[in-house]
Amino acid sequence: MADTGLPMGESDTILGPDGALWSYVHASDRSAGVVDGWGAPVPFPGCVVRYVSQDGGVSFTLPEPVCLFTCAQKPCDIQTDHIDQQQYPRVVREGDGYLLAYEHRAMVFLARSTDGVNWTRLGQLPGTGVWRYDFRGCAKAESVGVHPFSPYEEQCLVGGPPGLFVDGGEVYVFVGLGRNPGGMGCYKAPVGAPVEAFTKCLHNPLFTGAEDYGPVDLAGPDANPYFDFRTISSAEVQRIGARYYMLYEGVRGPGPGDPGDTQFGLGLARSTTEQVDGPWETFPGNPILVDLPGNIGLGHGDLVLLNGRTYLYTSLDGETRSRLALVW
């Protein structure tokens, strides 16, 4: 399916209690005419909204262009309500309800719902965000190294676009660790636990990206081996047999003279044991589907298991969000 009607940049799709597919994205007044609960236009990049498909995921529409989260005050406040940046939401079934994670300025926040529509925010995942050493220290895997074309003032990173997975009574929240090189890490807590109960996984980092940027004159497919040097994030996890498989976004970063990140890829990783909190290995043929430079929507993979088939929503061309049928 070449164009599903979903925004190009990202999505996370679940089977709703009404039998329709529900896809959670962030959107704004500029991108989709979205308003907050008080009717005010939402600034870019926007808040969490819910797209719906009534035809088995072939096409999606936005029935209500209104932020899902209710603001604590009127007007909505950027600092407390995050109305301008509830980015890259991920949603999973958790017990009899739903759990959602989103990014706000590199920090990760969680929310719960009994119906997938009305949400209660739980707060910030402990220790996530970006900071400098004069605020607090960080582990080596969480530190920010040197990038040849991307000077950065912060020195530590834990967070970014999150991932969510529930397995065996445990909830796992996946986060990016560090930059240059980037890594993948996770937090975990029992199903239903408060946000304060989440602790870092014992085996962080689960895996790391390329050790260096590579030759600075490399571009396009020749730069594929370095596609995940700058950051790793946006985990999408499925259990297949005794192993866990993950799609993730790798970002090499900008090239010479680029104003921001311009090299994106979709990576594949697999646990080497029967545990999520353990070592992982990356696919030697990464990145998959599309060579560098890729696009900003490619790495935010969205897997859906429906009627015995596995579908992937992603952007192959940087213009539309497509649906692919996968054979594992």
The count of structural domains within the chain is: 2
How far CA 198 is from CA of 79, 81, 138, 302, in Å, comes to 23, 22, 18, 24
> Is the domain of 151 the same as that of 277?
yes
Q: List the one residue out of 19, 93, 18, 111 whose CA is nearest residue 56.
A: 19
Res 229 pLDDT > 90? yes
> Has residue 325 been placed in a domain?
no
Whether the CB-CB separation of 65 and 2 falls below 8 Å is answered with no
Residue 95 CB partners (closer than 8 Å, separation 6+): 191, 192
Q: List the one residue out of 188, 10, 206 whose CA is nearest residue 99.
A: 188
Q: Where are the beta strands (DSSP E) in 16-155?
A: 21-27, 47-53, 87-94, 97-104, 107-113, 119-124, 129-131
Tokens matching residue 136: 């607090």
Res 1 pLDDT > 70? no
> Is the domain of 163 the same as that of 91?
no
Q: What is the pLDDT of residues 43-90, one digit of tens each?
A: 999 999 999 999 999 999 999 999 999 999 999 999 999 999 999 999
Q: What is the pLDDT of residue 152?
A: 80
How far CA 288 is from CA of 39, 71, 149, 224, in Å, comes to 41, 40, 25, 10
Locate all alpha helices (DSSP H) within 41-86, ordered by sequence.
78-81
Of 98, 124, 150, which residue constitutes the final position of a domain?
124
> Is the domain of 110 the same as that of 236?
no
Rg, C-alpha atoms of the chain = 19
Res 210 pLDDT > 90? yes
Distance, CA of 112 to CA of 315 (rounded, Å): 28
Q: What is the pLDDT of residue 328?
A: 65
Q: What is the pLDDT of residues 154-208, one digit of tens each?
A: 999 999 999 999 999 999 999 999 999 999 999 999 999 999 999 999 999 999 9
Of 87, 104, 124, which residue constitutes the final position of a domain?
124
> Is the domain of 113 the same as that of 190?
no
Distance, CA of 139 to CA of 40 (rounded, Å): 41
**Which residues span the domain enclosing 28?**
1-124
Mean pLDDT to the nearest integer, 288-305: 97
